[in-house]
Structure 1
Amino acid sequence: MDLILFDADFHEIGPATLEIDVEVGDSSASNDFELSTVLSDFSGFYIPGTEVGGIVEYRASVSNKAVNTLKGWTWRGLLSQWIILPPSGSDYRIVSGEANAVIRRLLAECLGGFFSVPEEDSGLTIGSYQFKLYTSMLDGLMDMLSEHDYRLDIYAKKTEAGGRVQVCCRALPAKKLEGEYNNDLGLTLTFTNDQMGINHLICMGKGELQNRQKLDLYIGKNGRVTTTQYYTGLAERQAYYDYSSAESLAELRKSGNEKLKKLAGSKKLRIDAESVDLNVGDIVVGRYRETGLVVEAPISKKIYRISDGRMTIEYGVKEDT
């Protein structure tokens, strides 16, 4: 593992040994890094061939201490700080074409064209994709690709001797790994099946007494919010939600949906990977044979910790799967 420092013009300074924490992932991740070092004359770092790296944008030092605290965005973090805007005269940004070509067009407008996209065919054609209004470049690209079981791959490289460090983005098929609790495939899977949550939310909107708007929302068999009751009798768990300022039944339902999702039980999966390299956007399907529990969890973040020249990786998955 070679961790390389670079200057303000993205030219390499040389290798270094740093104590550093780096977190990358979707919008639930911090997508930043923090390190403490006596070094100060560098602008960023990277590990060739990986997305571990970023630009220093925060420095803190104390007059009687030699160690500086440095922070900054990772490459994925930079993408989270840029908004996809609709073209003039249009309500939405809609794209189509080969995935890498689409990414290339979008990133040409982002951060002065800082990111590069390799001239390679991803094997994916985007028919017609409409981005959410004012979504970030990171969320937009990840959402677009995940609809087709692809992921956003980011890596840094030096293009030539004396050249600048280049950060590349491309579309790659997401891996889907399946394992069981007994540590096959080099994965340790920890399952949580929480059924203690609320599955029936009684929502009350504007109005007085019996004339108030009323909406019953339920957790269905698949864990999604519905208006059809699934859990009954001893399995039913109720809660009351007062939203008297709701302007309409649609607003009451939208707010009630969000409230019930927070109160409901969930199935969760924690992943410890000893010998498998996973990436943000890859999917792990965990099966607990004794109980029949199946949890499908996309990798939402990777946390790299580098100490004494050794790197450890921790994976995070979406909280509700």
Structure 2
Amino acid sequence: MDLIVTDAGHIDRAVIEDYALDAAWGADENDFELTVDRMLEPGSYVYADGSELGGVIDSLRDRLERDGSTLTYGGRTWHGILANKILAPDTGQNYLVVSGKASTVIGMIVNRVGLAPLFQAVAPPPGIGDPDIKTYQVARYTDCYAGLRAMCAANGLKLRLAYRSGHVEIWAEPAAHYGDSIDSDLIDFDATRTWLRVNHLIGLGKGELANRTVVHWYADKDGNVSQNQSLHGTEEIAQTYDYSNAESDELDAKTRDKLIGMQSQGDVKVTVRDGTEIEMDVGDTVAAHDQITGITVQATVTKKITKTKNGSTSIDYEAS
């Protein structure tokens, strides 16, 4: 895979074939290291045309040894550039609330954080259609990349990026699910099954002492959340949720949502090793099955790791 490098003015200057690249994006990292035997300017772009692989050069490590210098450049992927921007509500508003066609919403957000015209919101590839974003409340002061991913996930979508013609195209499309289509020999998973979870959440809101707003929400053995308690004694696992500035209605809704989010049946980490012919995206789901225990796990791809050395490229995935 050839890489194209620009100058600091982002004009294409060279195609490089001999390099080592380690890049990751998703839940964390969102950066890259590029080792190449040439000088590159700070602020230059490196990218694989038509793909999401690429970013901006921010640093240089020069290591001098007997056989010469090794130049290793560090930088942010396109995803990391998004992650370095914060989504804040408008002045006087509690939250940023969005809805509409995905391309319109994403375009508004990209403009809001000052990343246009480098990032350009587009409709998905032909045949997919521009999906709708239902009314979505963006978390306060979240980073732009996390906020966009969360918004997409809430609508059954995934965020896609690709560098083309001097711009990073960005769009949303339906998340894909991969189960039996992936060889189980290529999947490792570490699963923890939890039978009893937090099932009583006490929300603590506005006020002091006896005047403090308090709400109670309960979950049953199946994870269904209501205000009716069904688990008592040793089966009751209670916690508090401190949301000190919330009025009664907001505290009630937030405490309920918090308890729903705590009803996972366990934790799972899935690693899909290089070798699958399917290329997945952050936001897709993958399933794995252990023949011995009978445990089947389904996880969402949270990180994509691509490495290139000596002309050979591998892609690994992490899911949870």
TM bracket, shorter-chain basis:
0.7 to 0.9
Structure 2 vs 1, CA of residues 151 and 51 (structure 1 numbering), >3 Å: closer, same or farther?
same
Q: 1:2 maps to which residue?
A: 2
**How far, CA to CA, are the matches of 1:98 and 1:7 in structure 2?**
35
- Are 1:67 and 2:75 an aligned pair? no
Q: Letter of the 2:266 partner, please give it.
A: S
- Are 1:98 and 2:105 an aligned pair? no
Q: 2:212 maps to which residue?
A: none
Deviation at 1:171, TM superposition (A): 0.5
**How far, CA to CA, are the matches of 2:58 and 2:85 in structure 1?**
16
**How far, CA to CA, are the matches of 1:225 and 1:23 in structure 2?**
37
**How far, CA to CA, are the matches of 1:20 and 1:48 in structure 2?**
15
Structure 2 gap segments, 5+ residues each: 210-215
Q: 1:268 maps to which residue?
A: 268
SS at match of 1:66: strand
Moved more, 125-134 or 216-225: 216-225
Question: 1:125-144 maps to which residues of 2 (within 5 A)?
Answer: 125-144=132-151
**How far, CA to CA, are the matches of 1:299 and 1:290 in structure 2?**
24
- Are 1:78 and 2:71 an aligned pair? no
**How far, CA to CA, are the matches of 2:93 and 2:186 in structure 1?**
47
Q: 1:145 maps to which residue?
A: 152
Moved more, 287-296 or 131-140: 287-296
Deviation at 1:232, TM superposition (A): 9.6
Alpha carbons 2:176, 2:285 under 8 Å: kept: yes
**How far, CA to CA, are the matches of 2:93 and 2:239 in structure 1?**
42
Moved more, 108-117 or 283-292: 283-292
Aligned-CA RMSD value: 4.5
SS at match of 1:172: strand
**How far, CA to CA, are the matches of 1:240 and 1:127 in structure 2?**
32
Alpha carbons 2:18, 2:36 under 8 Å: kept: no
Alpha carbons 1:21, 1:304 under 8 Å: kept: yes
Alpha carbons 1:60, 1:68 under 8 Å: kept: yes
**How far, CA to CA, are the matches of 2:140 and 2:238 in structure 1?**
33
Structure 2 vs 1, CA of residues 312 and 132 (structure 1 numbering), >3 Å: closer, same or farther?
same
Alpha carbons 2:47, 2:53 under 8 Å: kept: yes
**Deviation readout 1:281-300 (Å, 9 max, x if unpaired):** 00113344554423221000
Alpha carbons 1:7, 1:13 under 8 Å: kept: no
**Deviation readout 1:144-170 (Å, 9 max, x if unpaired):** 11111100001112x2xxxxx321110
Identity %: 27
**How far, CA to CA, are the matches of 2:289 and 2:228 in structure 1?**
28
**How far, CA to CA, are the matches of 2:33 and 2:224 in structure 1?**
38
Instruction: Work out the number of aligned pairs and report it.
Output: 303
Deviation at 1:34, TM superposition (A): 1.4
Q: 1:162 maps to which residue?
A: none
Alpha carbons 1:6, 1:14 under 8 Å: kept: no
Q: 1:211 maps to which residue?
A: none
Q: TM-score under structure 1 normalisation?
A: 0.73
**How far, CA to CA, are the matches of 1:38 and 1:302 in structure 2?**
26
Deviation at 1:195, TM superposition (A): 5.3
Alpha carbons 2:272, 2:318 under 8 Å: kept: no
**How far, CA to CA, are the matches of 2:25 and 2:227 in structure 1?**
37
Alpha carbons 2:17, 2:311 under 8 Å: kept: no
